[in-house]
Amino acid sequence: MNEQTVYFNGRFCPLDQVRISPLDRGFLFADGVYEVVRAYGGKWFRLSDHAARLERSLAALELAGFDVAGLEGAGNELLKLNGLDRADALLYWQITRGAADFRAHAYPDASVAATVFGMVNRLPHRRPEEPAVVAALEDRRWSRCDIKSVALLGNVLSFNEARSQGAVEALFQRGGTVTEGASVNVAAVIDGTVRTHPESEYILSGISRKVALEICREDDIPCREEAFSLAELRRASEAFLTGTTHEIWPVRAVIGEALEWPAPGPVTRRLMARFSELIR
């Protein structure tokens, strides 16, 4: 039995009491979005950025009638109810288009309420993490990767393909251009400049990516939101991944491209140190 208290459609209850209809459009069509927010010592990290991204995702799905502003209070309550109000934790929100009376592609009428689910889990802040080995894979996902959709099959298949190659993450390329990973953004230091794919429909606009770029700008580390190719990655002096669960994660090798770096390199190390300052 799971003793965890979760949020479900406006109330807090034990996880075991949540009942979701098989007609829920999240189940039938992956018609929903999600967010993952980190808390350090009970304090949310960049919550307003996550809320803004969630609003963009909801707008992209034309999923109206859901108030993102209420998420902070509900998140705080979840921390408290689970005894995590001073802990390092991970908050997950999922909103789907709800359950109509029958399966149909067409959006149901406005009387069908969204399904809203939230949970928190303890996630200790651990440093340092083993540098990552990633596998270069073709990005076969759809071309709305900017929406934080629960339709993650492309990410899941690729993540597990990377695992089967002995890597811990995927490094996606689309037509030779590096986009991101299955659950992280990707950056490389090329000719002394930190480069990462610009915001577009081919990547998720990561909050940790944004923080890394802000640190670069504050510390006069040259950086550019400009895509790079696999050929350019071969010239890189270092590479790193960014994401809510891994923060700044150095890359030590790329399987499939026979690339290796001593990791973390000096720029990555600097970003990791500055990131750690920000969360404490």
Write out the residues near ligand PDD by the rule CB under 6 A: 36, 155, 180, 183-185, 204, 206-209, 242-245
With a CB cutoff of 8 Å and minimum separation 6, the contacts of 59 are none
Nearer to ligand PDD, 25 or 209 (CB): 209
Tokens (6 digits) for 255: 């399987």
SS3 at position 123: coil
How many Cβ atoms sit within 10 Å of the Cβ of residue 146? 17
Taking the complex as a whole, how short is the minimal distance between the CB of residue 26 and ligand PDD, in angstroms? 15
Examine the residue annotation and report whether 148 is marked as an active-site residue of this protein. yes
Shortest Cβ distance from residue 255 to ligand PDD (Å)? 19
DSSP 9-72: TTEEEEGGG----TTBHHHHH--EEEEEEEEETTEESSHHHHHHHHHHHHHHTT--S--GGGHH
Q: Where are the beta strands (DSSP E) in 123-246?
A: 132-138, 169-174, 177-178, 185-190, 193-196, 223-224, 238-243
Nearer to ligand PDD (CB atom), residue 100 or residue 131? 131
For ligand PDD, give the closer residue by CB, 137 or 184: 184
Q: Which is nearer to ligand PDD, 24 or 247 (CB)?
A: 247
Other beta carbons less than 10 A from residue 3's beta carbon: 8
Q: How many CB atoms lie within 10 A of CB 38?
A: 23
Of the pair 46, 97, the CB lying nearest ligand PDD is at 46
Beta strands at 223-224 and 238-243: parallel, antiparallel or unpaired: unpaired
Q: What is the C-alpha to C-alpha distance for residues 164 and 137, in angstroms, rounded to an integer?
A: 12
Compare residues 118 and 243 and give the one whose CB is closer to ligand PDD.
243
| CB neighbour list of residue 140: distance below 8 Å, 6 or more residues apart | 154, 157, 158
CB of 105 to ligand PDD, least distance (A): 25
CB of 241 to ligand PDD, least distance (A): 9
Closest CB 100 distance from ligand PDD, rounded Å? 27
Provide, rounded to whole angstroms, the least separation between the CB of residue 91 and ligand PDD.
Answer: 11
Backbone angles phi, psi at 65, to 5 degrees: 80, 15
- Neighbouring CB atoms inside 10 A of 101's CB total 9
Residues annotated catalytic, as ranges: 148
